[in-house]
Amino acid sequence: MILETRHPAVSVHPKTGERTLLLGALVQRIGGISKFVDRILFDIFLSHVTRPETAVHWDWKEVDIAMGQLRHAPLFGQ
């Protein structure tokens, strides 16, 4: 069984009002535009947020605990 859901593409931080795009591996489509434009935009956005200078990288150790406001940051662990 495949479940389809729709979520807003833009999230608004509850305290600061800052707007961010919600992207991730589970995103299938950006609604309201053609599949062709959808893929181009998704690839552009994803290439931006996964650059080393805009992403959080963490080299996990056995005793590590990470805490923070990561609502709108991609997190890559190794």
Q: Among all chains, which residue has been given the structure tokens 């589970």?
A: 26
**Token reading at 24:** 């991730």
Residues sharing a CB contact under 8 Å with residue 27, sequence separation 6 or more, in sequence order: 42
pLDDT at 77: 56
Q: Mind listing the pLDDT tens digit for each residue in 17-76?
A: 988 877 776 778 888 889 899 889 888 888 887 787 776 677 888 888 876 665 555 555
**Token reading at 74:** 């991609």
The pTM (predicted TM-score) of the whole model is 0.57
Q: Which residue has the higher pLDDT, 21 or 16?
A: 16
Looking at residue 19, the DSSP 8-state letter turns out to be: E
Q: How far is CA 59 from the centre of its chain?
A: 20
pLDDT at 36: 92
Residues sharing a CB contact under 8 Å with residue 22, sequence separation 6 or more, in sequence order: 7, 8, 9, 10, 11
